Amino acid sequence: MTTITLSKSDAAGVKSDAVVIGVVKLGGGVTLPAGTESLNAAYGGKLVEVLSDLGATGKTGEVTKVPGPKPGKSATLIAVGLGAAPDGALKTEDLRAAAGTGVRAAKTAQSVAFALPTPDAECVRAVAEGALLGRYAFTAYKSSDGNNDAPGNLIVLTDLARNKDAKTALERAQVTAEAVAQVRDWVNTPPSDLHPAEFAADAVKLGKEHGLKVEVLDEKALAKGGYGGILGVGQGSANPPRLVRMTYTPRKPVTHLAFVGKGITFDSGGLSLKTSSGMVSMKSDMAGAAAVIGATIAIARLGLPVQVTTYAAMAENMPSGSAARPSDVLTMYGGKTVEVLNTDAEGRLVLGDALVRAGEDKPDLIVDVATLTGACVVALGTKVAGAFGNTDSARDRVVDAAVAAGESMWPLPIPSEMLDKLKSHSKVADLANITGEAWGGALAAAAFLGDFVADGIDWVHLDVAGPAFNDGGPSGYTPTGGTGYAVRTLVELAASAS
């Protein structure tokens, strides 16, 4: 178990296996930020010289280790580069990343203290989140638990240790980090162990643990209700689909948010089969559903005065004799018909059903989260999500929440001609699931989804195909594999509304 506490202890005297500090670029050298004065004094006022002699440059993410200044106190000093701060102010994301880098560098330490700048409660939250998120490791399938040596006692050194806002910030960091860790676990779980039924059962168990109402529609209920998109995608698999509805209703909510998540537990592409290399990370195609469930649980645990209704559309997209064929027509929930011209454009089909159902709850805002298109990754890379909306104000509100939470996001348009192309590309149904063109795939997918949103309801679509899964090495507080992207944004969205 990991514990995290706030402490006013002196950085030079705190008893821990390691102390993490920051190093800032300054001209051609480095300098120390506020909060390291006692440590500098313990090194005879020459800590900058010591770090410089060891090659420290202050470059973001750089790690320099030196022995602790006092025997019997901290055994190791870990200096993490914070980059340049030309205006003297460090961004909370810099602190979050530095804490994550520091805790990963202190892998063999059982206790780690963080002497990073914490001038306000937001900085306290950033350091705590980074430390907790950076500690994460997925070891469920390791024959020996490699996480046994990960730090179990984390201490944020701050003058605000007894401050009410700082204590609230610490609680939010803990709850949010636990939700992110759960989402990462789901995403990292092999698809053989997380079919739609198991995924839905996990959601029910966790939801009920935290006082949420959870309903699950199985394949029979989906057929009775007319959920043709979810059934059409899942019909090729031996593992039938599910639709999870999770509700959190506090007293006197200030607004009503609806979250919708894509939960394709494995995406082979269906009969429009992906390449073998293209399937390798497709266990992560349920990251959107995992994120909206995780965020809803976190919002409930924090007691935020915001009503949340969440839909997670779960299916496994497989090729078989019963799989949907290109040119099949599906009747979606609500009655609209879609010609399936590419079975690998399946996420929009399950989301279409869920968006119509979410609209029936008449929320003030719907946000869907989906690992939807490779085209968005081509446009924005692997670290940045695309944000689309039916109003600029709604889209910008979510992007602002992402910025505040430290998750990279960029607004993208939904050109009106994209929906026209989807409608004209099918000669037999209301619209096709692709335009038939090689460009603008993320925009076309967003246009498709927007056609299933009820009039008068603000809606934002987050295409998280890039940042939801990290194929590379760990950095900052981001591990290899599932990242838990969008949980922090959705929690921030709810918190800012309250």
Work out whether strand 469-470 and strand 481-482 pair parallel, antiparallel, or are unpaired. antiparallel
Q: Which of 73, 91, 107, 274 is catalytic?
A: 274
348 in catalytic set:
yes
CB burial string 360-373: b at 16+ within 10 A, e below: ebebbbbbbbbbbb
- DSSP E strands in 140-278: the ranges are 153-157, 213-217, 242-248, 256-267
Q: Which of 172, 262, 348, 395 is catalytic?
A: 348
CB burial string 418-447: b at 16+ within 10 A, e below: bbebbeebbeebbbbbbbeeeebbbbbbbb
Cα–Cα distance measured from residue 94 to residue 87, given in angstroms and rounded to the nearest whole number: 14
421 in catalytic set:
no
Q: What residues contact 362, with CB distance under 8 A and at least 6 apart?
A: 256, 457
Query: Encoding tokens for residue 410?
Result: 């960029």
Cα–Cα distance measured from residue 176 to residue 307, given in angstroms and rounded to the nearest whole number: 18
Cα–Cα distance measured from residue 157 to residue 419, given in angstroms and rounded to the nearest whole number: 53
Cα–Cα distance measured from residue 104 to residue 133, given in angstroms and rounded to the nearest whole number: 10
CA torsion through residues 428, 429, 430, 436, sign: negative
CB burial string 21-30: b at 16+ within 10 A, e below: bbbbbeeeeb
Cα angle: 8, vertex 12, 18; to 5 degrees: 95
Active site residues: 274, 348
